[in-house]
Amino acid sequence: MGSGSYIATRILMTIPTIVLLLTFIFFFVRVLPGDPVLLHFEKQARPEVIESLRHQLGFDRPILDQYLDYMLGVIRGDLGKSMEDFSPVSEQVLSAFPATLELSIFSMIIAVIVGVLLGVVASRSYNSSADHFLRFFGVAVYATPIFFIGMLLQLLFGIGLHLFPTGGRMYPGMEPCGLSFGGTTIRTGLYTIDSILEGNPVKFILALEYLFLPSVTLGLYLSGIFLRLTRSNMLDTLFAEFTIAAKARGLKAKTVMYSYALRNALLPIFTMMGLEFAALLGGAVLTETTFSWPGLGRYLVQRIAFRDYTAIQGAVVYFALVVSLTSLVVDVAYSYLDPRIRV
Amino acid sequence: MRQGITSRSDKRWFPVSAISRFVALRNKGVAGLAIFVGTIIVLSISLMTVSAPWISPRDPSAINVGPVLASPSIDFPLGTDHLGRDMLSRVISGGSIMLQVALLSVPICLFVGVPIGLLAAYIGGTPEKVTSLVMDCVYAFPGLILAIAIAAVLGPGVFNMTLAIVVVYIPSYYRVVRSQVLSIKELTYVDAARAIGASGPSIVFRYILPSVLPSVIAVSSVNFADAILTAAGLTFIGLGLPVSTPDWGWDLTNGRQLLPSGAWWVMAFPGIMIVLLALGFTLVGEGLNELLNPKLEVQVS
């Protein structure tokens, strides 16, 4: 199969997945609870109010019409109106997402660096006490609730040592405004990039300081998975025929370790980054709640408290779209890196 | 290594031989030690939680039993929270909801996920493709976000939390069972069973199921830890039981708000308990995994 047709099949496969996910979410959030409007008011509003809200949100129409409307809306980028403040959910979701994206990128970088480094150390000293300790570290990090890691870091670095801010995304009033020339401004919503665009090093450093604790929290949580993967891949490749052949040819142990074993062990790590992106977003919800980080996860948690079902649905749908598209991009990129996968 | 677990030569009364085999695990290398330590941790925490009404020094929900936000002392070994509740008593009884949710959800996952995986892979064709598409869909979605959405819609309660966790984790069982059955059903002994006239159900449940069980056991043990952590996460963001029920997850939520005042003990001790419990289950799962299927890599995510 050529690479063009592989990519085409992969893209076509994404469509039923997304349709299925959106249908699940619609069913769970909108149909299963009964009447979302009644639930929203906890049965404490006058019937006329309930009826008018129901009409305004289109909930008085047949469920199949609502479903088709919702699916068509998602294609147009319309996620409906919030039940709490009637503003479009898609705008709220889009304004919250960059914060989550920035946190995710930095956490992923930390997770990969820490995980791969420790994994290489563990495999180099295979079956020694250092190896056992690092494997235990991997298990322990996995078994620790992410918000507990976050609070311990807050306690140590924020409240104890006063080194880093323990909550929020930026010093109030210091939000970077991006690059502006003429009448247009270019803003990404990622504070680190926006502050560079603005050319303001103070804001850049501040943005990093606020990012530090949340991304270390989320990064540590995921690093265990990368540690485990790097270790087992390194052990596989260290005993593979091509590394033994390289050793037999008299290459230095270091060369064999890094340019033969590690290079081949890194490919699966790339796939893992795509797979773990879903776990990362789940962890981001808890991290954002712990650090009052104004991202999509915190938006979701806040809307749950308001029983704002349309907003909950919108946020979950957005997460679903991001995850499906990321896995699509990772698979396509991987087919270039490792042509064997296309068969 | 297999001998230690599957040996049948021991003629002693079953509980006695089981206990002595369990104690012997300590000497079965790192994996055996992990199972031994993990089991001890899980059993002691479960015992503590079950006997909470008799061993906790004070009523865990009673307010103003001591000064507000007292740091650990002889009277209050783990301190008190912002309502003057005794943290030691809250730590002793706070695991009950999490354990209930885990004990309910893992068996349900097993009884739903394993048969679906067995049948889908054995039958093959369109039914297998459809179930796999649905399961992969759920599996690829961030588990915690799905659980949050379901729990938010269903409202608080032990059973609703259980349901949220069950929906999220059934696909892990399905995937492990399916991939194993796909290779096992091509083996000669299955052909032999078919040749001697075994019926479809009997092949699936008497011939194939036993070969799949070891990996299912390892997955379900790690799954206990997942259920505990998901339940803790749901409670932490406010989707657990009403605040009146003592729970480690709630105490962490409280502790987060009290952290700036320096009252670290409100969140530290319940947090350590969650870590210990989840660690216990993970150690058992990892150890079993290594002892029972040396080749199989269980996906823990």
Contacts of A17 in chain B (CB under 8 A): 133, 136-137, 140
The mean of the pLDDT values for chain B is 85
Cα dist from B181 to B123, B128, B135, B225, whole Å: 10, 12, 16, 25
| Res. B229: pLDDT tops 90 | yes
Round to whole Å and give the CA distance between B99 and B95.
Answer: 6
Highest mean pLDDT among A254-263, A331-340, B81-90: B81-90
Nearest to A21 among B141, B262, B282 (CB): B141
Residue among A28, A139, A151 whose CB faces B256 most closely: A151
Cα–Cα distance measured from residue B234 to residue A274, given in angstroms and rounded to the nearest whole number: 25
The pLDDT confidence band at residue B10, using thresholds 50, 70 and 90, is low
For testing contact with chain A, the best of B129, B144, B230, B299 (most A CBs within 10 A): B144
Minimum-distance CB partner of A159 among B236, B260, B286:
B260
Comparing CA positions, the residue from A109, A142, A148, A101 lying closest to residue A297 is A101
Q: Which of A151, A286, A323 sits opposite B233 (nearest CB)?
A: A286
Q: Searching chain B, which residue's CA lies closest to the CA of residue A162? A: B260
What count of CB pairs under 8 Å joins A to B? 136
CATH architecture of B95-245: Orthogonal Bundle (1.10)
Within 8 A of B252 by CB-CB distance, chain A residues are: 145, 147-148, 151
B19 in helix, strand or coil?
helix
Query: Is A132 within 8 Å of B225 when comparing Cβ atoms?
Result: no
Across the interface, do B143 and A319 touch by the CB < 8 Å criterion?
A: no
Average confidence (pLDDT) over A143-147 = 92
Contacts A132 to B, Cβ<8 Å: 30
**Average pLDDT of the segment spanning B266-282:** 92
The size of chain A, in residues, is 343
pLDDT of residue B228: 93
As a whole number of Å, the end-to-end CA separation of chain A is 6
Question: What pLDDT does residue B29 have?
Answer: 77
pLDDT of residue B297: 43
- C-alpha closest to that of A218 among A291, A265, A283, A132: A283
Residue A107 to residue A103: CA distance in whole angstroms: 6
* Residue from A139, A221, A271, A308 to probe the interface with B (highest B Cβ count within 10 Å): A139
CA-to-CA dists, residue B237 to A165, B166, B241, angstroms:
21, 19, 11
Quick check: A143 and B275 CB within 8 A? yes
| Greatest mean pLDDT range, A11-25, A100-114, A125-139 | A100-114
Q: How many other C-beta atoms lie within 10 A of the C-beta of residue B120? A: 22
For chain A, domains (ranges, CATH) are: 97-293 (1.10.3720)
Assess contact for B202 and B139: CB atoms under 8 A: no
Residues 6+ apart with CB under 8 A from A196: A204
The rounded Cα B65 to chain-centroid distance in angstroms is: 34
pLDDT at B245 exceeding the cut of 90: no
B224: tokens are 């206990």
State chain A's mean pLDDT as an integer: 85
Q: How far is B239 from chain A (nearest CA, A)?
A: 9
Instruction: With beta carbons less than 8 A apart as the criterion, state whether A304 and B238 touch.
Output: yes
Give the Cα separation of A139 and A221 in Å (integer). 10
Mean pLDDT value of segment A115-131: 87
Q: Do A148 and B259 touch (CB under 8 A)?
A: no
pLDDT of residue A233: 85
Cα distances from A133 to residues A115, A126, A232, in angstroms, run 14, 11, 15
Give the whole-angstrom CA distance, residue A289 versus residue B237. 7
| pLDDT score recorded for residue B301 | 32
Q: How confident is the model at residue B191 (pLDDT cuts 50, 70, 90)?
A: confident
The pLDDT assigned to B117 comes to 93
Asked if the Cβ–Cβ distance from A145 to B236 is below 8 Å, we say yes
Cα–Cα dist B1/B281, whole Å = 21
Yes or no, beta carbons of A281 and B142 under 8 Å apart: yes
Residue B171: predicted pLDDT = 93
Check: CB of residue B105 under 8 Å from CB of residue B227.
yes
Shortest CA gap B111–chain A (Å): 22
Tokens of B264: 């670290």
Q: Mean pLDDT, to the nearest integer, of A16-45? A: 77
pLDDT band at B74 (very low <50, low <70, confident <90, very high): confident
- Residue B299 pLDDT level (bands cut at 50, 70, 90): very low
Report pLDDT digits (tens) over A147-203.
999 999 998 888 888 888 888 888 887 778 777 777 777 778 888 888 888 888 888
Which of chain A's residues have a Cβ under 8 Å away from the Cβ of B145?
281-282, 285, 297, 300, 316, 319
**Is B140 close to A17, i.e. CB distance below 8 A?**
yes
3 state SS of A186: strand
User: Closest to B152 (Cβ–Cβ): which among A132, A144, A312?
Assistant: A312
ipTM score here?
0.86
Q: Residue A33's pLDDT is what?
A: 67
**For residue B138, what is the nearest residue in chain A, using CA coordinates?**
A21
Cα B25 from Cα B290, distance rounded (Å): 13
- Helix B143-154 and helix B209-236: axis angle, to 10°? 60
pLDDT tens string A196-226: 888 888 888 889 999 999 999 999 999 988 9
Distance CA A157, CA A163 (A): 5
- Which sequence spans correspond to the domains of chain B? 95-245
CA nearest A156 in B: which residue? B264
- Averaged pLDDT for residues B51-75: 81
**A170 — phi, psi (to 5°)?**
-160, 150
> B-chain residues within 8 Å CB-CB of A324?
140
Buried b (16+ CB within 10 A) or exposed e, A108-143: bebbbebbbebbbbbbbeeeeeebeebbebbbebbb
Contact residues on chain A for B138, CB-CB shorter than 8 A: 24
- Chain A: nearest CA to B140, how far in angstroms? 7
Our CA-based measurement puts residue B49 at a distance from the nearest CA of chain A, in whole angstroms, of: 19
What residues of A are in contact with residue B256 (Cβ under 8 Å)? Answer: 147, 151, 290
* A16, A146, A281: residue with CB nearest B133: A16
Nearest Cβ partner for B134 among A20, A33, A276: A20
Contact B275 A289 (CB under 8 A): no
* CB contact (8 A) between residue B154 and residue A148: no
Of the pLDDT bands very low, low, confident and very high (cuts 50, 70, 90), residue B107 is very high
Mean pLDDT of B17-39: 82
Give B118-134 pLDDT, tens digit per residue.
Answer: 999 988 889 998 899 88
| Residue in the structure block whose two tokens are 């297999």 | B2
Task: Determine the Cα–Cα distance for residues B155 and B170; give it in Å rounded to an integer.
Answer: 21
Provide CB contacts within 8 A for A299, sequence distance 6+.
A92, A93, A96, A311, A315
Asked whether B71 and B125 are in contact (CB, 8 A), the reply is no
Residue of A nearest to B234 (CA): A286
Q: Does the pLDDT value for residue B158 go beyond 80?
A: yes
Is the confidence at residue B199, as pLDDT, over 60? yes
Are A151 and B255 an interchain contact pair (Cβ–Cβ within 8 Å)? yes
Min mean pLDDT across A287-301, B20-34, B111-125, B153-167 is at: B20-34
A256: DSSP letter: I
* Section A225-229 average pLDDT: 89
Question: What is the dihedral angle through the alpha carbons of A114, A117, A119, A125, rounded to the nearest 10 degrees?
Answer: -140
Closest Cβ–Cβ partner in A17, A142, A147 for B252: A147
The pLDDT assigned to A341 comes to 57
